[in-house]
Amino acid sequence: MESQIVNIGVKEWKINHNYDWINALESGKVIHFSNLPFNISQTEKKLLSPLILKKNCRNVSLSTTNQLKGAECDAYLLDALTNLMKRFRQNATTLITSLAPNYKLETSPTSFRPIQVEDRKQSYRGNDKLLHIDAFTTRPNHGKRILRVFININPNNIPRVWRIGEPFENVANNFLHKVKPYSSWQASFLHKIKITKSLRSEYDHIMLQLHDIMKFDSNYQSNAEQIIIPFYSGSVWVCFSDQTSHSVLSGQFMMEQTYNLPLSSLYNPDSSPFAILSNIIGKKLL
């Protein structure tokens, strides 16, 4: 398997527009920056504990209007946490907009994940230790892309360890024949009873099915082509998580920024999951 990761040694978040790196990203590879500056102050180090989580919350989330959810600590630390997450969001946005100025980014909330991956309790379907592509039960995206920027801020240099699987085209070729037929009646019903926030399109249906089929195939999980990558503290990595087959094996203290973007703002829309699936199926899916 051609390497699914591209290491980039730049030392500033504002980088040059670079077609090779964009092509790598849009073909489903992970681009990895190990030298970007992101200092964590002594006060911010106090935030690196699962004890700051509110009861029954797994993550802290910072909305685009800077409302913090999921954290419980004194006002001074809440303010520090808001600033830490804002600083990451600003840096992540600088990185992506300087790399790919055409991208019309829609910024989602920023998340901070202080729970140790090995301790997380997740359903089979929600288990991120299993190789998958991102697709969401409640939030159809109608072909919009999911771009994610991650940073490991572990204070003890404990890596966040990922598995990265085979290219999306191989995933689609392996599993499309197992996808159940799309039902527009069922999609309308799910929307009507508010299980989905908008109508699930055929594209969304197929992506969700691929996500589930991959996770439930234990033979595939063990035997699919894959690499294991440790992302050490300070590492920043970026991928289209609706395209890159990925899973997280271990680690603690990570921040993540998600963006959605329309297919039309990609540099190579033909390498998107939408184009790959439409090609194999022989019709435009939306």
Contacts with Fe ion by CB under 5 A lie at: 134
CB of 163 to Fe ion, least distance (A): 11
CB of 73 to Fe ion, least distance (A): 28
CB of 41 to Fe ion, least distance (A): 30
CB of 285 to Fe ion, least distance (A): 21
Q: Hey, which bits of 216-253 come out as E strands?
A: 227-231, 236-240, 246-250
Beta pairing partners, 30: 5
- Helices 273-281 and 168-175 meet at what angle, rounded to 10? 40
Nearer to Fe ion, 28 or 81 (CB): 28
CB of 126 to Fe ion, least distance (A): 10
Q: Give the C-alpha separation, 3 to 215, whole Å.
A: 22
Nearer to Fe ion, 126 or 155 (CB): 126
How long, in residues, is the chain? 286
Task: Tell me which residue has its CB nearest to Fe ion.
Answer: 134
* Nearest alpha-carbon partner for 208 in 234, 175, 237: 175
CB of 249 to Fe ion, least distance (A): 13
CB of 241 to Fe ion, least distance (A): 5
Cα 102 to Cα 43, 109, 266, 283: the distances in Å are 37, 21, 7, 27
Nearer to Fe ion, 70 or 165 (CB): 165
Nearer to Fe ion, 123 or 156 (CB): 123
Nearer to Fe ion, 130 or 153 (CB): 130
Please state the φ and ψ torsions of residue 275, each to the nearest 5 degrees: -70, -40
N-term to C-term CA, the chain:
31
List CB contacts of 111: < 8 A, sequence separation 6 or more.
59, 60, 61, 62, 255, 256, 257, 258
CB of 83 to Fe ion, least distance (A): 27
Q: Give the C-alpha separation, 93 to 128, whole Å.
A: 25
C-beta of residue 222 within 8 angstroms of C-beta of residue 134: no
- Helices 168-175 and 202-216 meet at what angle, rounded to 10? 90
Letter string b/e over residues 195-233, b meaning 16 or more CB atoms within 10 A of that residue's CB:
ebeeebbbbbbbbbbbbbbbbebeebbeebebeebebeb
Nearer to Fe ion, 73 or 161 (CB): 161
Nearer to Fe ion, 52 or 226 (CB): 226
Nearer to Fe ion, 202 or 256 (CB): 256
